[in-house]
Amino acid sequence: MRFYTQSHSHYCGVDLHARSMYLCVIDHDAQVLLHRNLPAGTEPFLKAIEPYRHDLVVGAECVFTWYWLADLCAAEDMHFVLGHALYMKAIHGAKAKNDRIDSRKIAALLRGGTFPLAYVYPPKMRATRDLLRRRMYFSRKRAELLAHIQNSNSQYNMLPFGKKIAYKANRTGITDQFQDPSIRKSIEVNLELIDHYERLLKDIELHILHNARRHDPNAFHLLRSIDGIGDILALVILYEIHDIRRFPRVQNFLSYARLVKCQRESAGKRSGTSGNKIGNPHLKWAFSEAAVLFLRNNPEAKKYMDRLRSKHGKAKALSILAQRLGRAVYYMLLRQKAFDIEKFLRT
């Protein structure tokens, strides 16, 4: 956990919502200078803080509406910090809670040096990252439709399809296996939606690939040098990391990617792990997938995996492999060097 510890003359806490925001501005001596509810917009915000803009820092909790405020502060050359929503327990743990109280607490956390920081993703790559996440949502919806077709086939104890219906060429004649008109109609609707999702996914992927080559082509090709990491996994890793230099150590990166478990300990006694869901779930998914795909058509990697499996079991062995791939990616991007499988398996 990192805290914002810089000292300023004025601290502005913003309890931000979609259509409104509650502002609280305090000075270095904790005197409240402004405490007001305003409509969420550029002009009301700038007008309210105008008397206090000298050496001002603006802080807001990481909710879905923070993009415009961060971009506005950057354009106006003002300090902006984003609060990690899970760590800002001082806001959510009080007996009474409302927008007025929350904004005052955010300002106090800023002044006291206990404001937990989240990463302010820059606007240059932010929209493409969000589109990539949207692409993953559409991909899951397509998978749900394919699973529903398989489940319908199993409900009536019919013969297996024989081939993977994820491929369009293998979906010919599926509806003919079902006699009931309602079931057949349900399968037809699923197939039409799957075709539509596939067209959307192809279009989105081409757009994201074009942007990736424009944003950071070198990093994209470095990630593609790892066996099993294709275009989609490379894009997810690239856009979720943005800049590897924001992680001072490899341990910080592995923790952010949910590739390590933190021990819960008190008075020398361990009581399991904690914080397993703190971090980036998209990176966790990407490295978990990469660990499985890394083993395909890779005899040396399979031998390495067999040694891990004999010692730790299959599940933990895959987790160790995913963590090692995360460590390799960190140093690859930091040193701008391609993946060396011999060094990876020898270490």
Residue 96 located in a structural domain: yes
Query: What average pLDDT does the structure give for the chain?
Result: 91
> What integer is the mean pLDDT of 252-259?
94
pTM of the model as a whole: 0.88
Same domain, yes or no, for 57 and 137? no
> What integer is the mean pLDDT of 63-69?
93
Name the pLDDT band for 74 (thresholds 50, 70, 90): very high
Same domain, yes or no, for 18 and 109? yes
Judged against a pLDDT cut of 80, whether residue 29 lies above it is answered with yes
Looking up residue 72, the CATH number of its domain turns out to be: 3.30.420.10
Same domain, yes or no, for 301 and 259? yes
User: What is the structure's pLDDT at 177?
Assistant: 84
> What integer is the mean pLDDT of 33-53?
95
17-31, 154-168, 257-271, 293-307: range with lowest mean pLDDT: 257-271
Same domain, yes or no, for 112 and 128? no
Q: How far apart are CA 343 and CA 262, in angstroms?
A: 28
Residue 90 located in a structural domain: yes
Of 96, 118, 140, the residue at which a domain comes to its end is: 118
Residue 226 located in a structural domain: no
> What integer is the mean pLDDT of 113-131?
93
Residue 223 located in a structural domain: no
Same domain, yes or no, for 261 and 329? yes
Judged against a pLDDT cut of 80, whether residue 89 lies above it is answered with no
Of 103, 118, 133, the residue at which a domain comes to its end is: 118
51-65, 242-256, 260-274: range with lowest mean pLDDT: 260-274
User: What is the structure's pLDDT at 86?
Assistant: 85
Same domain, yes or no, for 192 and 260? no
User: What is the structure's pLDDT at 15?
Assistant: 95
User: What is the structure's pLDDT at 120?
Assistant: 94
User: What is the structure's pLDDT at 179?
Assistant: 86
Residue 160 located in a structural domain: yes
- The total of other beta-carbon atoms located within 10 Å of residue 148's CB is 16
Residue 38 located in a structural domain: yes
Q: How many structural domains comprise the chain? A: 3
Same domain, yes or no, for 53 and 69? yes
User: What is the structure's pLDDT at 162?
Assistant: 82
Do residues 40 and 18 touch, judged by C-beta distance below 8 A? yes
Residue 225 located in a structural domain: no
Do residues 156 and 147 touch, judged by C-beta distance below 8 A? no
Same domain, yes or no, for 114 and 143? no
Residue 220 located in a structural domain: no
User: Which segment, 44-48, 179-183, 269-273, is predicted with the most confidence on average?
Assistant: 44-48
Same domain, yes or no, for 103 and 141? no
> What integer is the mean pLDDT of 99-121?
93
- What domain range includes position 318? 231-265+277-346
Going by C-beta distance under 8 Å and a sequence separation of 6 or more, which residues neighbour residue 77? none
Of 118, 145, 172, the residue at which a domain comes to its end is: 118
Same domain, yes or no, for 195 and 240? no
User: What is the structure's pLDDT at 213?
Assistant: 82
Secondary structure (H, E, C), the chain: CCEECCCCCEEEEEEECCCEEEEEEEECCCCEEEEEEEECCHHHHHHHHHHHCCCEEEEEECCCCCHHHHHHHHHCCCEEEEECCCCCHHHHCCCCCCHHHHHHHHHHHHHHCCEEEECCCCHHHHHHHHHHHHHHHHHHHHHHHHHHHHHHHHHCCCCCCCCCCCCHHHHCCCHHHCCCHHHHHHHHHHHHHHHHHHHHHHHHHHHHHHHHHHHCHHHHHHHHCCCCCCHHHHHHHHHHHCCHHHCCCHHHHHHHCCCCCEEEEECCEEEEEECCCCCCHHHHHHHHHHHHHHCCCCHHHHHHHHHHHHHHCHHHHHHHHHHHHHHHHHHHHHHCCCCCHHHHHHC
